[in-house]
Amino acid sequence: MTKTVIIGTGHYLPEVCKSNENFLQNNFFDEKGEAYAYPNEKIIEKFYDITKIQERRYIRPDQNNSDIATIAAQRAIEDAKIDPETLDYIICATNFGEVVDGDPRSNFMPSIAVRVKNKLRLKNPKIVAYDMVFGCPGWVEAMIQAEAFIKAGMAKKILVIGAETLSRVVDKNDRDSMIFADGAGAAVVERKESTERGLLSHNTQSHTLEEAHYLFNGRTYKPEVDDNNLYIKMLGRKIYTFALKHVPVAIKQTIEDAGLDITDISKVLIHQANEKMDEAIINRLYKLYNQPVPAGAMPMTIGKFGNSSVATIPTMLDLILKQQLGDHQIQKGDNVVFTSVGAGMHINAIVYRF
């Protein structure tokens, strides 16, 4: 039976580390343009209590999204020990494209995938390069699309990247700006026959009737400034409620589609959006099975790296596989869930056997 198998992974975490204390001098306003009645120390304390973010990574001024995507891609290619000229597709999940320092406007021409192919100096015109714009679930969805190409016999090797530079598109006067970070992760997948390893099942949903604008682009919250740029905005409470209602059910369906039970799952690699929300999601998932959450079932990276959107899951996966995330390990035969929720509102999940 044909399987989509991960044969190499790589990631890049930017060098610039911003702690919560770096935001003490910011001027924060609410969506009405009104300053908060309490000091930044209190805002940051409350922010940490909810998200558990202490630090986040930002790219340097001389770097762009395609640069960090290329580093992660190169590391995944080296890990896979393949000739990159034999790739069939390069799919890059990203939501804002190439955003240069000091200008929050998105730039998708050419796409990040095309820029990566150029920076890798690949000559083969048969390597098709394009971007996946799908909110934070973009890398998981790109993996699902890679699976479709492989199952259809249209590809043998595909490079799947998730890269984002959210520090370039945040409103520094919005307290939610402290959530977002930069980073890149990548995986090379290959078609394999007669193997137990590989992608077992997947599930994707798009909830758009009432939820389409829970994440959106909007103007700065700072009043009386001449700034017509658009920044990333979110309705945090609505996203939290939505995620708790729908994500556990979607994961359960994906596990059942794989013919497995929650007791067969070794780890759940969930998009690092908000630690409090992620903990609530996994608690509800195990509650659907009347099971306690096992220790170490849900690795977390958001505390140190923030929310880097499409990059969070492939970065976490590579850290675990390279034994660089504490005691977390993935062993041969382990069944692992990749799952994400984000702008759209989209939800997706994969069950993968290592």
Q: Which residues are catalytic?
A: 136, 271, 307
CB 211 within 8 A of CB 345: yes
Q: Are 329 and 187 in contact (CB under 8 A)?
A: no
Q: Which two tokens stand for residue 200?
A: 């077992």
Rounded Cα–Cα distance for residues 16 and 182 (Å): 10
Which DSSP category does 192 fall into? E
CA pair distance 303, 63, nearest whole angstrom:
23
CA distance 326 to 335: 20
Phi, psi of 320 (to 5 degrees): -70, -45
Distance CA 173, CA 86 (A): 46
Q: d(Cα 185, Cα 46) in Å, to the nearest integer?
A: 30
CA distance 351 to 349: 7
Report which of 271, 325, 319, 304 is spatially closest to residue 57, judged by C-alpha positions.
304
Amino acid (one-letter) located at 238: K
N residues, the chain:
354
Pair of tokens at residue 282:
């996994």
55: enclosing H helix or E strand: strand 55-58
d(CA 327, CA 161) in angstroms, rounded, equals: 25
Query: What burial class does residue 49 get, using C-beta atoms within 10 Å of its C-beta: 0-12 exposed, 13-18 middle, 19+ buried?
Result: exposed
Helix (H/G/I), strand (E/B), else coil: 290: coil
Residue 19 · residue 57 · CB < 8 Å? no
